[in-house]
Amino acid sequence: MSVLSGKNVLLGVTGGIAAYKTTYLVRLLVKAGAAVKVVMTPASRDFVTPLTLSTLSKNPVLSSFTNEEDENDTWNNHVDLGLWADYMIIAPATANTMSKMVAGNIDNFLLAVYCSAKCPVYYAPAMDLDMFKHPSTAHNFAQLASYGNKMIPAGTGELASGLSGEGRMAEPEDILSFIEKDIQSQLPLMGKTCLITAGPTYEAIDPVRFIGNHSSGKMGAALALEMANLGAQVILIMGPSHVVTDHALIDRIDVQTAQEMYDTVHTHIHKVNYAIFSAAVADYKPVHTADQKIKKKSETLTIELTKNPDILASVGAMEQRPFLVGFALETENELEYAFAKADKKNTDLLILNSMRDKGAGFGKDTNKITIIDRERSITEFETKPKSEVAKDIVNEIIKRTL
Ligand code: CTP
């Protein structure tokens, strides 16, 4: 999954021949999962039509403060648009537009949006080679860098003038990959690794029956996504679950039993910086698993159970261990039990869920948590969607480790 997935991207198109390439750029951005809006300078409309770009971006294209053909039209709000954007890309960025960006010379809608945007701004210069080498261009590059704007380097090759040299706008694929890499390089968990257990475990009684629980795996999947979104490489060890996980940085390993989960954890635990144990592991498993389906012969049936290994405690006991986060699901004496669990399993953070809280528990899309750290300090959170709860947990991890 691209780092641009779910992000709002504003594309500013200015009047150069390379504007035709923005049709491909819009397609790539949409394919990456971004919401795309396009603003155009009046001059750029001679090179590529607003209709093409609005069709591809699935949004109206704006190029003036009002729509002149419609007398009832309202004012297009450049401030709202600038604030809507998570990222702004100006491509192609002509020498003329660059000079106006430097000077704050707002003589069109695109420049008004640029000056209102608080988000990171990328620009892809495009011009003929002599213009590219002109001292004013070098000056503008330096000025824009001082504003924090990032230049996507121009390429060298045949130019629209027929001359050959530096000044070709970067290809759409290169623009996208430049931006993705730049965003990734700034993610706080870039270069870190994290192991997460999630979901239930199934302990077979016979070929058709098992001991399990109602855990859905949603909380663990949300944590994996949040860690990956912040740049961490995630190993997600998932018990039987229908939850779908799709992210380039999530490597998912599906397991069935507690023993399989234990073995998989210990294969990977030595190479991770963080480990989060959100799985609802079955505490016990049948001593014997019947080879054939157990027939209903007697009035009662007793199945002898034996303890499963405690995966979290086994990692807590390791001399060299990652930053360790455990969960505790309790129904009574919540804090007392949670403190005891944190001590016993040697966790850095313990995430407490109480079954008494309405918004918490198995299968739900929300959760209500209390976080307990090593110093026994307690932070309580409101009931929230699991994606938001994952953000809170990851935030607390980052606060204590980076
Ligand atoms: N856990 C684990 N392996 C087990 C049991 C639990 O890794 N065999 C982990 C869970 O993933 C969770 C934490 O330990 O992070 C606490 O799980 P919980 O079920 O609340 O506690 P238990 O240790 O099973 O204790 P009890 O059921 O007696 O409350």
Number of C-beta neighbours around residue 302 at 10 A: 6
- Kindly report, residue by residue over 125-166, the tens digit of the pLDDT: 999 999 999 999 999 999 999 999 999 999 998 888 888 889
Mean pLDDT of 360-382: 90
Average the pLDDT over 312-338 and give the result. Answer: 96
Residue 361 neighbours by CB under 8 Å, 6+ apart: 329, 353, 355, 367
| 292 three-state secondary structure | coil
Asked if residue 369 has pLDDT above 90, the reply is yes
Q: State in Å: Cα 338 to ligand 1 middle.
A: 11
Average pLDDT of the chain, as a whole number? 94
**What pLDDT was estimated at residue 65?**
84
Residue nearest to atom 17 of ligand 1 (CA): 328
Q: Which residues line ligand 1 (CB under 6 A)?
A: 197, 258, 277, 279, 281, 283, 308, 310-312, 326-329, 341
Domains of the chain (ranges plus CATH)? 8-185 (3.40.50.1950), 193-401 (3.40.50.10300)
Q: Find residue 11's DSSP bridge partners.
A: 38, 89
Closest residue by Cα to residue 167 from 211, 107, 135, 126: 126
3-state SS assignment for residue 66: coil
Percent of the chain residues topping a pLDDT of 90: 87
Q: Is the pLDDT of residue 69 over 70?
A: no
Residue 94's SS3 state is coil
Distance 239 CA to ligand 1 centre (A): 14
Per-residue model confidence (pLDDT) at position 120: 97
* 64 or 274, higher pLDDT: 274
Mean pLDDT confidence for 331-351: 95
- Cis peptide bond upstream of 92, omega within 30: yes
The residue to mutate among 195, 196, 281, 352, having the most atoms of ligand 1 within 8 angstroms of its beta carbon, is 281
149 is annotated as an active-site residue: no
- Other residues' Cβ atoms within 10 Å of the Cβ of residue 68: 8
Res 109: pLDDT: 94
Percent of the chain at pLDDT exceeding 70: 98
| 24 φ, ψ (degrees, to nearest 5) | -70, -40
Distance 353 CA to ligand 1 centre (A): 12
Q: What is the mean pLDDT of residues 376-387?
A: 94
Residue 346, strand partner residues: none
* Mean pLDDT on 11-16: 97
Q: What is the mean pLDDT of residues 9-34?
A: 97
pLDDT digits (tens, 9 = 90+) for 254-297: 999 999 999 999 999 999 999 999 999 999 999 999 999 999 99
Pick the catalytic residue from 8, 67, 96, 213.
213
* Tens of pLDDT, residues 71-98: 666 677 888 899 999 999 999 999 999 9
pLDDT band at 44 (very low <50, low <70, confident <90, very high): very high
Q: Are 230 and 187 in contact (CB under 8 A)?
A: yes
Atom of ligand 1 nearest to the CA of 325: 15
| pLDDT (0 to 100) of residue 70 | 58
220 closest CA partner among 189, 186, 254:
254
pLDDT of res. 248? 85
Answer whether residue 386 shows pLDDT above 90: yes
Tell me what the mean pLDDT of segment 194-220 comes to: 97
Q: Looking at the predicted structure, is the pLDDT value of residue 364 above 90? A: no
